[in-house]
Amino acid sequence: MTKDQYTLVNRITDNSIVFISVLAIPLNIIIYFALRESEYQFPRYIPPLLGLVTVLAAFLRGTIPLKPKLWGFITILFLTGCYNLLLGLIDMASLWFVLAIVYALFISRNKEALVLFGVSFLVVLVVGILMITKISFIPLQYKFETCQFACVAVRILHFLLVGSLIYYILNKFI
């Protein structure tokens, strides 16, 4: 990677981490309250935890070398996708996986992005099959009727967040 490419990727990554950490705050608050009637309470604490890690990464972004920072960010994006799969939200999980793959392309000399794509596809496929066969795997018993506003707001914020970052990355490179 040339020095200019390194600088561009580092700037994109830093700005993306800050953007996600800012938007994670309202997103995670909405998710936390939307799942308050869930039978299992532990999974409801995962989004705020991931949000706190992202906020911490935003504060430390200037002190972390690019490659570990990028891998940490990709891990957060991938885990967010897995969490959405845990809720049975394949559409939102797919957005997070695509975003993780895009960032993996920044450092994909050894085909890490392709491996990430393959793992993401397999996970989505397995969850899809479980959903089609009506095998219950979702540990949260949330009722869409009671959280309709929150569920729609979360989907809109997810699209805004992921779509904005993909637009930002492509705009910087094109």
Residue 85, pLDDT above cutoff 70: yes
Neighbours of 2 (CB within 10 A): 7
Confidence band for 75, pLDDT divided at 50, 70 and 90: very high
| pLDDT over threshold 70, residue 174 | no
Distance of CA 149 to the CA centre of its chain: 21
Higher pLDDT, 79 or 43: 79
**pLDDT at 138 (0 to 100):** 61
- Assess contact for 107 and 67: CB atoms under 8 A: yes
Residue partners of 32: CB distance under 8 A and separation at least 6:
44, 45, 47, 48
Of 119, 137, 25, nearest to 74 by C-alpha is: 119
Contacts of 67 (CB under 8 A, 6+ apart): 107
Could you tell me the two tokens for 55? 């906020």
pLDDT (0 to 100) of residue 137: 60
Asked whether 123 and 85 are in contact (CB, 8 A), the reply is yes
Weakest-pLDDT range from 61-65, 69-73, 103-107:
103-107
Q: Is the dihedral angle over the CA atoms 77, 81, 84, 90 positive or is it negative?
A: positive
Asked if pLDDT for residue 92 goes beyond 90, the answer is no
Give the residue-averaged pLDDT of 78-102: 86
pLDDT range class, residue 63, cuts 50, 70, 90: very high
